[in-house]
A = this chain, B = another copy of it.
Amino acid sequence: MPSMRAAIFVEPGRIVLGEKPIPDVGPLDALLRITTTTICGTDVHILKGEYPVAKGLTIGHEPVGIIEKLGSAVQGYREGQRVIAGAITPSGHSAACLCGCGSQDGGFNASGFKAMGGWRFGNTIDGCQAEYVLVPDAMTNLCPVPEELTDEQVLMCPDIMSTGFSGAESGGIRIGDTVAVFAQGPIGLCATAGAKLAGATTVIGVDSIPGRLEMARRCGADLTVNYKEVDPVEEILRLTDGRGVDVAIEALGTQSTFGAALRVLRPGGTLSSLGVYSTDLTIPLGAFAAGLGDHKIVTTLCPGGKERMRRLMNVIQSGRVDLKPMVTHRFKLDEIEAAYELFSHQRDGVLKVAITP
Q: How far is the CA of A296 from the CA of B285 in the complex (A)?
A: 18
A331 part of interface (Cβ distance < 8 Å): no
Q: Given A92-B140, A320-B201, do A282 and B285 touch, yes or no (CB 8 Å)?
A: no
The contact of A282 among B95, B275, B280, B299, by CB within 8 Å, is B280
Contact (Cβ within 8 A) A277 B299? no
Contact (Cβ within 8 A) A104 B276? no
Q: How far is the CA of A11 from the CA of B6 in the complex (A)?
A: 61
The contact of A307 among B99, B139, B283, by CB within 8 Å, is B99
A side interface size, CB within 8 A: 96
The contact of A165 among B175, B277, B284, by CB within 8 Å, is B175
Q: How far is the CA of A266 from the CA of B310 in the complex (A)?
A: 16
Contact (Cβ within 8 A) B28 A305? no
The segment from A14-22, A240-248, A347-355 found at the interface with B is A240-248
> Closest CB-CB distance, A39 to chain B, in whole Å?
19
Contact (Cβ within 8 A) B116 A289? yes
Q: How far is the CA of A295 from the CA of B271 in the complex (A)?
A: 12
A306 part of interface (Cβ distance < 8 Å): yes
Q: How far is the CA of A178 from the CA of B96 in the complex (A)?
A: 15
14 more A-B contacts (CB under 8 A) besides A92-B93, A116-B292?
A91-B139, A95-B306, A104-B267, A176-B315, A275-B291, A277-B290, A279-B285, A281-B283, A283-B283, A292-B299, A293-B299, A294-B300, A294-B301, A296-B296
Closest 10 CB pairs of A and B: A176-B311, A92-B92, A115-B289, A104-B267, A98-B307, A201-B318, A101-B268, A93-B139, A93-B140, A115-B293
